[in-house]
Amino acid sequence: MKLMRILVLAGSMAAASLTAAAPAAVAASPGAAQVKAVQDMLASMQAEKMMRTTAGTSRYSSDQQKQAVFDKLAQVPPAEIHRRLAVPVARFVSTETAIEMTRFYGSSYGKRVLYQTYNSKPTFQAQEVTPTKAEQADLKRPAYLKAAKALKAAEPAIQHETFVLLTQITRK
């Protein structure tokens, strides 16, 4: 019960800070094509690992509660996480952004960035992945720059929706 109070309190605090920093909503009611594009983007950016990161950085009153959350999260297939996150995230991410970022995370450089993000050991300094010359040219494309900026602006909202989904999963 304490875990639920902690999650609800943290969620309300996150929602309050989110309203101040949230990007303008892309669509009030996203269409099926937009939701599918966002779902594909979440799959390519390995949103299930983002959920584990959110669970790992949350505070728990005991190690048993933390382990219970991770156990429940492990039972949810990645495709279900992508599906359940797609609709709320589609309110903040346009179809064009989702398609471009799916392309980026599918590239060899994007995969190395994801590997560094989710599989590296904690360090005091961020170790950045160095792109090749061809990858650098690709990263300078206007479509990628616009999509990366839009995704960065939507990041707080995505993190909030990830936390909301984590709370829903732990309540079951």
Q: How far apart are CA 149 and CA 134, in angstroms?
A: 21
Could you tell me the pTM of the whole model?
Answer: 0.79
- 63-83 in b/e burial notation, b at 16+ Cβ within 10 A? eebbeebeeebeebeeeebbe
Domain count, the chain: 1
| Inter-residue contact 85 to 48 (CB < 8 Å) | no
The number of residues in the chain equals 172
DSSP string, 79-99: HHHHHHHHHHHHTTS-HHHHH
Task: Give, for all 172 residues of the chain, the pLDDT tens digit.
Answer: 444 444 444 454 444 444 434 444 455 678 899 999 999 999 999 999 999 999 988 888 899 999 999 999 999 999 999 999 999 999 999 999 999 999 999 999 999 999 888 887 666 666 788 899 999 999 999 999 999 999 999 999 999 999 999 999 998 7
- Residue 66's domain comprises 2-171
